[in-house]
Chain A
Amino acid sequence: MKNLYKYTKIWWIMSSHSTQIALSSRFSAVVFVIGKLLRFVFFFFFLVILISKTNTIAGYSFWQVIFFFATFNLIDTAAQLFMREVYRFRTYVVSGEFDYFLSKPLSPLFRTLLGGSDILDLPMLFLSIVFVVTAAVQMEVVSFVGVLLYLVLMANAFLIALAFHIMVVALGVLTTEIDNALWMYRDLAAMGRLPIDIYQEPLRWTLTFAIPVGIMITFPSKALMGLLSTQSVAIALLIGIVFLYGSYKFWQYAIKHYSSASS
């Protein structure tokens, strides 16, 4: 309990600092927020144009497709908001600054992942929540159990996102080549912007179980729509836990092999 308080306090202080840095240039802050909003609006517009002609995508109605898209944005944005420090990790390893992370009485993994939240993602997070709620209301098939399962699987999705980030930084420790690994994760996650049902086998299976993008993004939405069996929910939670455990083991392996070559 004492540890939790300590880490919450540290997270708050570091987030305050990163917020001050992000807002030190008003121009950049405004441009980045506008860019993120535009990216959302453009893809939304694309979906509207598509569905205006086809009525459905892979059998899903307009609001269902929007729900998938908004859920993807919610998970993706939340991961960026909290784990923005991962995007700066390469600099720390290359410059040798990572050594300071290791020498402090603080989990280096915590410092690496959560050492600088990005306030510029906050508007996108709110927008995603608004779209999730609006689409859910419009679908009119939402039940209490569906909402409960959605929330449980969203928590599972954040664990999988966390696991992906841990793997990326572990790879960064071993190779210092992190930038494209991180963007590869973003691209994989973006494959879930639309329901994974659009992909053919064996890609669909791979995206569901091997690289659990489907479990991370499509499953929560399907659960809310009542399209997911109890067995699938159990498998999703199991894969989430195994994935997180595996990534943590990989981090431990990487940290043991850190050579501190740059310092």
Chain B
Amino acid sequence: MNKYLQIAKLTWDETFVYRLNFIMWRVRLILQTLTLYFLWVSLIPSGTSLFGYNQSLMLTYILGTSMVGSFVLSSRSHAVGDEINSGNLSNFLLKPINYFLYWFARDVGDKAMNIIFSIIELTVLFAILKPPLFIQTESMFLLLTLIAIALALIMYFLFNFLLGLIGFWSPEVWAPRFIFIILLNFFAGGLFPLDILPKFIFSIFQLLPFTYLLYFPIKIYLGQLTMIEIFTGIMISLSWTILLYIVVRYMWRKGLLVYTAQGR
């Protein structure tokens, strides 16, 4: 366990090597958040509501998805495909290390860094913009939000890992990831709450895994879901996580059989 803690710590330190790049990455996230923030402020002036959201709920949703996104979607495991293609995977196969846990530890180090900066930035934005935020006080909703976030980050890790495993069969690992990012940006609910969509489309979205990465945890926090809806959501999220885990294990085993350490 200690070695994985060290890997997470090294990932943390590594971020500070490329300080300017990290700062720019954070500035990018602030810009993206500000764009959405001002769009929704302009659409929902104080005292009005739109799609069932008043300004307070909508801004909490936007800032909340920004913070949850910093935690759930920050990742290093996107490099798995390149490692396979370059043959670097061989180094790990020879070491007494679990390759899944290695990348999960790298993700944890990255997430820790991002969540700390995200909290600082949102605090500064809060001090400047003074948005009317919704504060959830029910401990049950807060606990369920944390459970949904935990499932979301495991699911996202498995997604990333799975996309990387394409490297066993093809050098084209970035094209599928590009499509994945486009789908994620729209279907996860980072741009808008998914329930503003027409009911038929939203009911399809509820079956997709993306919904449970950002939209679902924040909706629980906002207290806008019934206990039955939360339970159903967690079950769907859990099912996707288990399914992805099974697929990842299967693809990993199959991939190792065709791995030729090309490039080494």
- Residues on A facing B (Cβ under 8 Å): 25, 27-28, 31-32, 34-35, 38-39, 42, 46, 49-50, 53-54, 57-58, 175, 177, 179-181, 183-184, 187-188, 190-191, 193-194, 197-200, 203
Contact = CB atoms under 8 A, between A and B. Distances in A.
Interface of B: 18, 20-22, 24-25, 27-28, 31-32, 34-35, 38-39, 41-43, 50-51, 170, 172, 174-176, 178-179, 182-183, 185-186, 191-192, 196-198
Given A35-B178, A38-B183, A46-B191, A194 B172 contact: no
B38 A203 contact: yes
14 contacts: A32-B175, A35-B178, A38-B179, A54-B43, A57-B43, A177-B18, A177-B24, A180-B22, A187-B28, A187-B32, A194-B39, A198-B38, A198-B41, A200-B38
B24 A28 contact: no
A84 B191 CA distance: 27
A199 B129 CA distance: 12
Given A54-B50, A177-B20, A28 B172 contact: yes
A35 B196 CA distance: 24
A49 B196 contact: yes
Given A39-B182, A183-B28, A49 B43 contact: no
Task: Kindly name the residue among B24, B172, B185, B198 whose own CB sees the greatest number of chain A CB atoms within 10 A.
Answer: B24
Given A179-B21, A187-B28, A199 B38 contact: yes
> Interface residues of A: mostly helix, strand, loop or mixed?
helix
Given A175-B20, A200-B41, A191 B172 contact: no
Nearest 3 Cβ contacts at the A-B interface: A180-B24, A31-B175, A28-B175
A173 B185 CA distance: 32
Nearest to A191: B35
A180 B21 contact: yes
Contacts of B170: 27
B175 A198 contact: no
